[in-house]
């Protein structure tokens, strides 16, 4: 009887894994179908800048272009935008310019601090002045941006689901 329960549990976990894997494949195909033309960094030579720099939104640009660039940075650009969500350390001031600046900088820091990673369709610029304020800390080159890159990678890695499933199956097997 115990062996039958264990087999049933394994089958249920395997079914869950397959459903998650299929959903991930469907989402990948859906994402691949969306053309990205103006907001991804341009191709060409990468010039790394000396010193500490931050990427911020340009004041006075079109609000529509700024919103599109922010949506790209927090979506397909995979910037960590949790801090600009309601209740986050950088939510206030609740302005498009402020939120875009935070997201642009997060993307810039995760992508090597190169001048081409601070473009966003012409809605961003580099600065040597730290834009951090109050409890809102803008990442700069070093551990902060490395931590953000690792967190972003692990949150989007389908292999993490597989390893969790293997661990659960191993625990169930050892328990019997």
The verdict on residue 66 lying in a domain is yes
Among 141, 143, 122, CA closest to 66: 122
pLDDT, one tens digit per residue, over 17-67 is 655 666 666 566 555 544 444 444 444 334 445 578 999 999 999 999 999
Q: Is residue 42 part of a domain?
A: no
- Cis peptide leading into residue 93 (ω within 30°): yes
Please indicate, yes or no, if residue 68 is contained in any of the structural domains. yes
Mean pLDDT, the chain, integer: 75
Whether the CB-CB separation of 72 and 120 falls below 8 Å is answered with yes
Predicted local distance difference test score (pLDDT) of residue 65: 96
Compute the chain's Rg from CA coordinates. Answer: 21
Please report whether residue 160 resides in a domain: no
**75, part of any domain:** yes
Quick check: 150 pLDDT over 60? Answer: no
Residues 4-14: what's their mean pLDDT?
63
Residue 153 in 3-state DSSP?
Answer: helix
| Domain total of the chain | 1
13 within a domain of the structure (yes/no): no
Domain presence at residue 35: no
Domain that holds residue 67: 60-127
Of 107 and 9, the one with more pLDDT: 107
- Return all residues near 176 (Cβ < 8 A) that are at least 6 apart: 2, 3, 6
What is the spatial distance between Cα 150 and Cα 153, in angstroms, rounded to a whole number? 5
Q: Is there a domain that residue 17 lies in?
A: no
């Amino acid at each position: 009887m115990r062996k039958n329960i264990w087999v049933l549990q394994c089958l249920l976990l395997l079914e869950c894994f397959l459903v998650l894997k299929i959903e991930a494949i469907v989402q990948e195909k859906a994402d691949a179908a969306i053309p990205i033309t103006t907001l991804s960094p341009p191709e060409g030579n990468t010039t790394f800048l000396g010193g500490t720099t931050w990427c911020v939104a340009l004041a006075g640009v079109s609000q529509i272009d700024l919103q599109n660039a922010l949506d790209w940075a927090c979506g397909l650009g995979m910037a960590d935008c949790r801090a600009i969500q309601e209740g986050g350390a950088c939510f206030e001031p609740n302005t498009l310019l402020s939120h875009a600046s935070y997201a642009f900088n997060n993307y810039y820091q995760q992508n090597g601090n190169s001048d081409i990673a601070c473009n966003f369709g012409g809605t961003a610029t580099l600065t040597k002045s730290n834009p951090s304020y109050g409890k809102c800390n803008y990442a700069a080159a070093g551990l902060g941006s490395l931590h953000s890159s690792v967190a972003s990678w692990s949150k989007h890695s389908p292999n993490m689901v597989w390893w969790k499933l293997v661990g659960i199956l191993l625990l169930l097997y050892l328990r019997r």
